[in-house]
C-alpha cells in the first residue's frame, strides 16, 4: 500500500508542475495511440484487402510457342487489372523497390523475364514451372504481412489455374489439329476413292 501511495504522491506532485503534467499526459496518451494502431491492424483485416497496396512489376519478355508469340506476363497483368481484391499498382522495378523501402507498398510481385518462356514449355516432355517472385514488407504491420503472404498464395493458385487452363487448351488444340489432319486425310482418301471409281467406270 505504501508503494502505491508513494506513486500517487509523486504523480500529484508532478501534476502541479507544467512540465510534469505534459509528461503525465504523454505517458497516458502514447500507449493509447499505440494500442489504436495495433488494433486497427487486427480489426477486420481481411475486410480491407482492397485497400492493401501491392506493386506489380512485369519483366516478362515474351516467347514463341508453336510459331506464335505469346506474352503470358501481359495476360496475367490484364487479369490482375480486373481483380479488385487488392489495390494493385503496376510500376517499374525501381519504383517498386523504392516504394517498398518507403512503406508505400506492403508487397511487390514480380513477373520474371522468362515467365512466357517457361509457359511455352507446357507441351514439352519436361515442362518448367512458371513462377512469380514476391517480397513482403513486414515493417508496417504484422497482419498486413500475413495478409500479403496469403494474397500471394491466392495469386499463385490463380496463376497455376491459368497455366493449367492454357495447358488444357494447348492439348485440346493439338488434338483438334490432329483430328483436322485425320479429317483432311479421310476426305482426301474419299476423293481418291471416288476418282478411282470414276476412272474404273470410264474404263468400262
Identify whether residues 22 and 100 lie together within a single domain. no
**Euclidean distance between the first and the last CA atom of the chain, given in angstroms as a whole number:** 130
CA distance 127 to 122: 5
The arithmetic mean of pLDDT across residues 152-166, rounded, is: 56
Identify whether residues 16 and 64 lie together within a single domain. no
Percent of the chain with pLDDT over 90: 11
What radius of gyration, in Å, describes the C-alpha atoms of the chain? 32
Range of 22's domain?
2-42
Percent of the chain with pLDDT over 70: 43
List the one residue out of 125, 120, 11 whose CA is nearest residue 64: 120
Identify whether residues 20 and 62 lie together within a single domain. no
Identify whether residues 105 and 62 lie together within a single domain. yes
Between 147 and 79, name the one with better pLDDT: 79
pLDDT higher than 60, residue 188: no
Identify whether residues 76 and 104 lie together within a single domain. yes
Identify whether residues 35 and 136 lie together within a single domain. no
Identify whether residues 72 and 168 lie together within a single domain. yes
Q: What is the pLDDT of residue 110?
A: 92
Kind and range of the H or E run holding 135: strand 133-136
pLDDT higher than 80, residue 51: no
CA distance 59 to 118: 14
Burial 180-204 (b: 16+ CB within 10 A, else e): eeeeeeeeeeeeeeeeeeeeeeeee
CA distance 146 to 19: 42
Between 132 and 3, name the one with better pLDDT: 132
pLDDT higher than 50, residue 193: no
Q: What is the pLDDT of residue 58?
A: 95
Q: What is the pLDDT of residue 43?
A: 42
Residues 6+ apart with CB under 8 A from 169: none
What is the value of pTM for the model shown?
A: 0.54
Identify whether residues 163 and 70 lie together within a single domain. yes
Total count of domains within the chain: 2
Reported as a pLDDT band with limits 50, 70 and 90, residue 121 is confident
Grid cell in block for residue 61: 519478355
Mean per-residue pLDDT over the chain, rounded:
66
The arithmetic mean of pLDDT across residues 54-80, rounded, is: 86
pLDDT higher than 60, residue 78: yes
pLDDT higher than 70, residue 185: no
Identify whether residues 98 and 37 lie together within a single domain. no
Identify whether residues 67 and 150 lie together within a single domain. yes
CATH number at residue 132: 3.40.1710.10
Would residue 197 count as lying in a domain?
Answer: no
Identify whether residues 71 and 137 lie together within a single domain. yes
Amino acid at each position: 500500500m505504501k508503494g502505491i501511495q508513494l506513486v500517487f504522491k509523486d504523480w500529484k506532485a508532478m501534476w502541479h508542475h507544467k512540465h510534469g503534467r505534459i509528461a503525465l499526459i504523454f505517458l497516458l496518451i502514447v500507449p493509447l495511440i499505440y494500442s489504436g494502431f495495433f488494433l486497427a491492424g487486427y480489426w477486420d483485416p481481411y475486410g480491407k484487402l482492397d485497400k492493401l497496396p501491392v506493386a506489380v512489376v512485369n519483366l516478362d519478355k515474351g516467347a514463341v510457342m508453336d510459331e506464335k508469340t505469346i506474352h503470358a506476363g501481359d495476360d496475367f497483368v490484364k487479369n490482375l487489372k480486373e481483380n479488385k481484391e487488392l489495390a494493385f499498382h503496376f510500376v517499374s522495378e525501381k519504383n517498386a523497390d523504392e516504394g517498398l523501402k518507403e512503406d508505400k507498398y506492403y508487397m511487390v510481385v514480380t513477373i520474371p523475364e522468362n515467365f512466357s518462356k517457361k509457359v511455352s514449355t507446357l507441351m514439352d516432355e519436361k515442362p518448367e514451372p512458371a513462377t512469380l517472385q514476391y517480397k513482403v514488407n513486414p515493417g508496417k504491420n504484422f497482419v498486413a504481412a500475413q495478409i500479403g503472404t496469403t494474397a500471394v498464395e491466392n495469386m499463385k493458385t490463380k496463376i497455376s489455374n491459368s497455366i493449367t487452363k492454357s495447358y488444357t487448351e494447348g492439348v485440346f488444340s493439338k488434338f483438334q489439329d490432329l483430328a483436322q489432319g485425320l479429317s483432311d486425310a479421310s476426305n482426301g482418301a474419299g476423293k481418291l476413292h471416288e476418282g478411282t471409281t470414276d476412272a474404273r467406270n470410264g474404263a468400262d
